[in-house]
Amino acid sequence: MLFAPMSGEEPRAPNYWEYIRVEDLLSLQGGLENDESKLENDEVLFITVHQVFELWFKLVLREMISVRDVFKADVVAEQEMSEVVRGTRRIVTILRRCVDHFAVMETLTTRNYLAFRDKLMPASGFQSAQMRQLEIIMGLHDDDRIPLGVGEDYKDALRAHDGSESPASRRVRAQKDDMPTLATALADWLTRTPIDGKSPGDAGADEALDAFVETYCAAAASEIDQTCRLALTRTRDADDQERLRERYENEKKSIRDFLNPTEEEGGERRRRIRAAMLFILSYRELPLLAWPRELLDGLIELEQAFVIFRQRHARMVERVIGRRTGTGGSSGVDYLDQTALSYRVFRDLWAVRTFQIRAEATPELKNAEFYGFRNG
Ligand code: HEM
């Protein structure tokens, strides 16, 4: 309430240091001793870099929730799409800056870090509640998490030492109650995508979906056959040729399987979602699909930025502590590399890249005018 005028008073002109709370901010790097003068520069750097990351996470979280909120609505207005895309771009820009910050941490040599590392035990970035909130709001399932190897699960590590609730565990619990995830909200929106001009619930909507899936699979198969023929002319070895034929046949099967998921994989709902992704990306130049396609590309960019963040963190960790056990008790770099490899939320969006075909080979769109500019 620094600048709130008393009733009847003129608002006071702010100072930079008051508005930014500079003195408060600069008083937070004293570590466990709460006294910066007792710390080496290396430790102040270690604390400050983590704090900078937490501040960026805070902004990313706000943007992510705003994006999710737009998709939570039953109807997403076209004019909201550009704001959402801007939000995803901001997230990507921040995450890319975060990745650069790891280089600052790497100015810490192994021995510099070892000088104060033991006193952190068992504190670890593993206890970053905001990182967990980000994973949760995006849609990472608890079942997909890599076990740390100590404690029951990641939520355990967020509790206070006596097992009671902590600010970190409260944050994460509140995030878990704040549903839907971005992935679910996005999937709900995708199920409503009109295919060949027909939205679910319209007469002929199911037939339009079936027709799109069929014609797309046929077009993709013909593209794959063409690529296979070309590949076969480039190899003379009969065994290799056989292997190639098999590989391309599998590609054809995998696109059919992708567009016809089993009940276990999510059945009709998943089928519509996957078809919608391919539809939007296939006819991306049409005005009504322009922002949706920007969004789908933006989400891939966003998840890619997270993956790169995880990989870069792992390489920084390898450089600073080698392959020793983490302060949080995990296997360290091995654990981090596994998360970088397997933590994915927008799996179908990634998979679609395998199944897209050349623009010239894309089946002709029925009802193209439905996706055009509207007058009046
Ligand atoms: C010298 C610097 C650092 C080292 C040696 C280090 C090491 C580690 C290790 C070994 C882990 C695995 C968990 C464990 O057993 O402790 C971990 C997890 C983590 N660290 Fe770091 N870290 C460093 C800096 C940072 C920085 C600057 C951040 C930025 C916020 C960060 C964020 C995280 C996060 C979010 C996790 C959890 C990853 C997950 O569970 O998916 N770390 N760190």
pLDDT digits 0-9 by tens, 318-348? 999 999 999 999 999 999 999 999 999 999 9
Q: Is the pLDDT of residue 7 over 80?
A: no
Asked if residue 336 has its Cβ within 6 Å of ligand 1, the reply is: yes
CATH 1.20.58.480 maps onto the chain at 40-371
**Which overall architecture, per CATH, does domain 40-371 show?**
Up-down Bundle (1.20)
How sure is the predictor about 368, in pLDDT bands with cuts at 50, 70 and 90? confident
Of all residues in the chain, what percent carry a pLDDT higher than 70?
97
Residue from 116, 172, 309, 336 to probe ligand 1 pocket by mutation (most atoms less than 8 Å from CB)? 336
What is the residue-averaged pLDDT of the chain?
Answer: 94
Ligand 1 contact via 48 beta carbon (within 6 Å):
no
Cα of 132 vs centre of ligand 1, distance in Å, is: 13
pLDDT band at 3 (very low <50, low <70, confident <90, very high): low
Rounded distance between C-alpha atoms, residue 329 and residue 124, angstroms:
9
Taking 80 as the threshold, does the pLDDT of residue 238 lie above it?
Answer: yes
- pLDDT tens profile 69-116: 999 998 888 889 999 999 999 999 999 999 999 999 999 999 999 999
DSSP assignment, residue 198? Answer: B
The per-residue pLDDT for 373 is 73
Q: How confident is the model at residue 194 (pLDDT cuts 50, 70, 90)?
A: very high
What distance in Å separates the CA atoms of residue 262 and residue 162, rounded to the nearest whole number? 46
Question: How far is 158 from 376, CA to CA, in rounded Å?
Answer: 55
Protein residue closest via CA to atom 41 of ligand 1: 339
pLDDT of the residue at 376: 44
What band does 4 get if pLDDT is binned at 50, 70 and 90? low
Mean pLDDT along residues 170-175: 97
- Over residues 229-234, the mean pLDDT reads 94
| pLDDT score at 62 | 98
Mean pLDDT (whole number) for 234-256:
95
CA atoms within 13 A on the CB side of 330: 23
CA distances (Å), origin 342, targets 90, 98, 103, 179 = 24, 21, 24, 23
pLDDT at 1: 46
Q: Which atom of ligand 1 is nearest to the CA of 108?
A: 1
**In sequence order, what are the beta bridge partners of 200?**
none
Query: What is the average per-residue pLDDT within 335-362?
Result: 96
DSSP at 38: G
Residue 359 burial (CB count, 10 A): 10
> What's the mean pLDDT in 33-46?
96
Residue 183 CA to ligand 1 center (angstroms) comes to 25
Q: Note the pTM of the prediction, 2 decimals.
A: 0.94
Tens digit of each residue's pLDDT (9 = 90 or more) over 112-132: 999 999 999 989 999 999 999
- Sequence-distant (6+) residues with CB within 8 A of 197 are 208, 366, 367, 370, 371
Would you list the DSSP string of 103-153?
Answer: HHHTTS-HHHHHHHHGGGTT--GGG-HHHHHHHHHHT--GGGSPP-SSSSS
Q: What is the DSSP letter of 364?
A: P
